[in-house]
Amino acid sequence: MADAKPILVIGSLNMDLVARCERLPQSGQTVFGSDFFTAPGGKGANQAVAAARLGARVTMAGCVGNDQFGCTLLRGLRADRVECELVRQVAQPTGTALITVDAQGANTIVVISGANMAWDAALVDRAFASVDRPGVLLLQNEIPEAANRHAIAAARAAGWFVVLNPAPARAVPSELLRLTDLIAPNETEATALTGSNDPREAAQHLLMRGARSVLVTLGGQGALFCRSDGAWQCPAVPVQAIDTTAAGDAYIGALAVALAEGRGMPGSLAFAAAAAGLAVTRLGAQPSLGSRSEVEEFIARYGALRAAPV
């Protein structure tokens, strides 16, 4: 859409090292794997690629190493038409993620941050200066907390719509919640942030602490969106999951695209659910992310979802 707002992603870039196995190993247990592959990942880069493949104008800012993984990640971003002049190559090695995926698509992930910790305030400032007008800002927790703090404050002052995906979970100060338009944890992260196992209760807790709106993604149960004037739930598409890696990033990237295009929140939630539903039917992080035509074909096949008040 020509008049859609820009999307800026300030976040992480990792190379994913993925092992597939019948079941996830327990503590102290060795299991045999069936497959191994590498794929571009990192929550920031995943969300940037998800949005770009859906047709958005996306700028990515971040840090990779001056190594083979870093060069591969940069080539991938350029191939997906993500503006990545502000992805800086630094002395630290490129971030990596060790991922195990079982036969049901469930996963475990260990992230080694590497170059993702090389952020400074100057890079954040250059990121905002590189975009011609305010749009949608996407942040995650795979970069230093100080970088996110600086980005949220700068974005609020400049009129951006700020989306914080607090993954992995860490405490979010109330003063930052008040500057964030949407905080979007998954169910596990919502519990870690609030102490509540009930998504609706967790969302209300975050609203009481100052969040403007809250989106709790619930995997196969869909997603719950809450703000001061009510709550809406959107179901997930009923598909057989092959790999849930980056499903949340597919959701957040698609949601950002829909909001940048001016869709209302209920329609944005439905579009995001379709993008995530498509992603879980494919292996890998960025390899699973669909194009605009693929997501539209997926919606035509499974039907349009509807977010309903709850």
Please compute Rg for the chain using Cα positions.
18
**Mean predicted confidence (pLDDT) in 61-68:** 98
Residues paired with 96 in a beta bridge: 15, 112
Give the pLDDT of residue 81.
97
Model confidence at 101, pLDDT cuts 50, 70, 90, reads: confident
By annotation, the residues acting in catalysis are 249
**Mean predicted confidence (pLDDT) in 69-86:** 97
**Mean predicted confidence (pLDDT) in 26-47:** 93
Nearest to 50 by CA among 214, 282, 301: 282
Model confidence at 109, pLDDT cuts 50, 70, 90, reads: confident
Model confidence at 106, pLDDT cuts 50, 70, 90, reads: confident
**Mean predicted confidence (pLDDT) in 284-305:** 94
Residues paired with 61 in a beta bridge: 10, 86
Q: pLDDT over 70 for what percent of the chain?
A: 99
Give the pLDDT of residue 2.
66
Nearest to 24 by CA among 36, 32, 12: 32
* pLDDT per residue as tens digits for the range 139-168: 999 999 999 999 999 999 999 999 999 999
* pLDDT per residue as tens digits for the range 233-290: 999 999 999 988 899 999 999 999 999 999 999 999 999 999 999 999 998 889 999 9
Q: What distance in Å separates the CA atoms of residue 20 and residue 104, rounded to the nearest whole number?
A: 10
DSSP 185-207: -BHHHHHHHHS-S-HHHHHHHHH
Question: Which CATH number is 7-309's, of 3.40.50.300, 3.40.1190.20, 3.30.470.20, 3.40.630.30?
Answer: 3.40.1190.20
Whether the model pTM is above 0.75: yes
Per the structure block, which two tokens stand in for 108?
């475990």
Nearest to 18 by CA among 125, 129, 102: 102
* pLDDT per residue as tens digits for the range 173-222: 999 999 999 999 999 999 999 999 999 999 999 999 999 999 999 999 99
H helix or E strand, kind and range, residue 136? strand 136-140
Question: Do 215 and 266 contact (CB within 8 A), yes or no?
Answer: no
* Angle between the N-to-C axes of helices 43-53 and 68-79, in degrees from 0 to 180, rounded to the nearest 10: 20
Give the pLDDT of residue 57.
97
